[in-house]
């Protein structure tokens, strides 16, 4: 995708086709080898009920939720991704909408999931408040996000020696909130970097109780790729309970 892109256009509509092709059914390396197992493990500890997947994209995690016994609703602002989700899951429920203004009554869901979607949302504080609003008392908010280390990376993050081998991982301007274009394999989207303290303060402001925290390690896959994910944690998982 060439040309100059505006920050007001987050890139998802134009990138939908490439994203769907890149994810496939099994997902990319990070989802398949790093996030899936610990996220599903948290689901196993919950009583299945009505779930909302905020930023469901092509519906992959909604299908996981259904396989684990939940009754999921997928929400996304990108029609092209929702169409793909409905094609893959004709019996599923997928609605167009934005996390910052959820069109659901208060206390509608037993579980709300945000799987790598907060990094796409400019007003993430409003989105978190809305997720908490539609969550039932005693319900769970399960979040997977990029770590601040990965979203604050300088360039691709890796500093290399004279032979081109990764020597260490570099970050820059960690405390500075910013939006940057991310480009890979035909995908061109905006991601938001925020320090972890911003997210933690927003969750705590809503009166949530943290019940689980993890920076998951990779499991399997190409050894060189797994090694990089171990050297520089890419994801964080947070589980919150609404009192």
Superfamily of domain 12-148+195-242, CATH level 4: Vaccinia Virus protein VP39 (3.40.50.150)
Indicate the burial class of 2 (C-beta count within 10 angstroms; 0-12, 13-18, 19 or more): exposed
Cα–Cα distance, 127 to 106 (Å, whole number): 14
pLDDT digits (tens, 9 = 90+) for 49-91: 999 999 999 999 999 999 999 999 999 999 999 999 999 999 9
Handedness of CA 221, 225, 227, 228 (dihedral sign): negative
φ, ψ of residue 146 in degrees (nearest 5): -65, 140
Nearest 5°: the CA angle 158, 164, 165 is 65
Q: What is the pLDDT of residue 9?
A: 72
Residue with tokens 């993430």: 124
φ, ψ of residue 177 in degrees (nearest 5): -70, 135
Per-residue pLDDT, averaged over 91-120, amounts to: 98
Q: Taking all residues of the chain, what is their mean pLDDT, rounded to a whole number?
A: 94
φ, ψ of residue 98 in degrees (nearest 5): -115, 145
CA 172 to chain centre: 22
pLDDT over 90, % of the chain: 90
pTM of the model as a whole: 0.94
Closest listed residue to residue 117, CA positions, set 97, 136, 140 = 97
Specify the 3-state DSSP secondary structure of 135.
Answer: strand
Cα–Cα distance, 66 to 92 (Å, whole number): 9
Per-residue pLDDT, averaged over 114-136, amounts to: 98
Q: Tell me the H-state helices in 152-219.
A: 196-205
Q: What is the pLDDT of residue 1?
A: 34
Confidence tier at 169 by pLDDT (50, 70, 90):
very high
Confidence tier at 25 by pLDDT (50, 70, 90):
confident
């Amino acid at each position: 995708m060439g040309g100059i892109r505006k920050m007001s256009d987050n890139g998802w509509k134009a990138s939908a086709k490439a994203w769907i092709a890149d994810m496939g059914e099994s997902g990319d390396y990070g989802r398949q080898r790093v996030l899936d197992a610990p996220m599903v493990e948290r689901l196993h500890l919950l009583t299945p009920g009505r779930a909302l997947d905020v930023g469901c994209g092509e519906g992959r995690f909604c299908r996981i939720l259904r396989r684990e016994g939940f009754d999921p609703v997928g929400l996304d602002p990108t029609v092209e991704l929702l169409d793909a989700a409905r094609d893959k899951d004709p019996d599923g429920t997928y609605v167009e909408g934005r996390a910052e203004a959820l069109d659901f009554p208060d206390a509608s869901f037993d579980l709300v999931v945000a799987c790598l979607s907060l990094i796409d949302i400019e007003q993430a504080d409003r989105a978190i408040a809305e997720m908490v609003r539609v969550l039932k008392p005693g319900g769970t908010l399960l979040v997977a996000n990029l770590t601040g280390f990965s979203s604050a990376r300088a360039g691709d993050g890796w500093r290399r020696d004279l032979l081109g081998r990764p020597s260490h991982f570099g970050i820059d301007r960690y405390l500075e909130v910013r939006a940057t274009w991310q480009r890979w394999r035909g995908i061109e989207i905006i991601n938001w970097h925020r320090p972890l303290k911003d997210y933690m303060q927003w969750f705590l402001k809503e009166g949530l109780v943290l019940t689980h925290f993890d920076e998951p390690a990779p499991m399997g896959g190409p050894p060189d790729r797994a090694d990089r994910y171990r050297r520089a944690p890419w994801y964080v998982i947070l589980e919150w309970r609404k009192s």
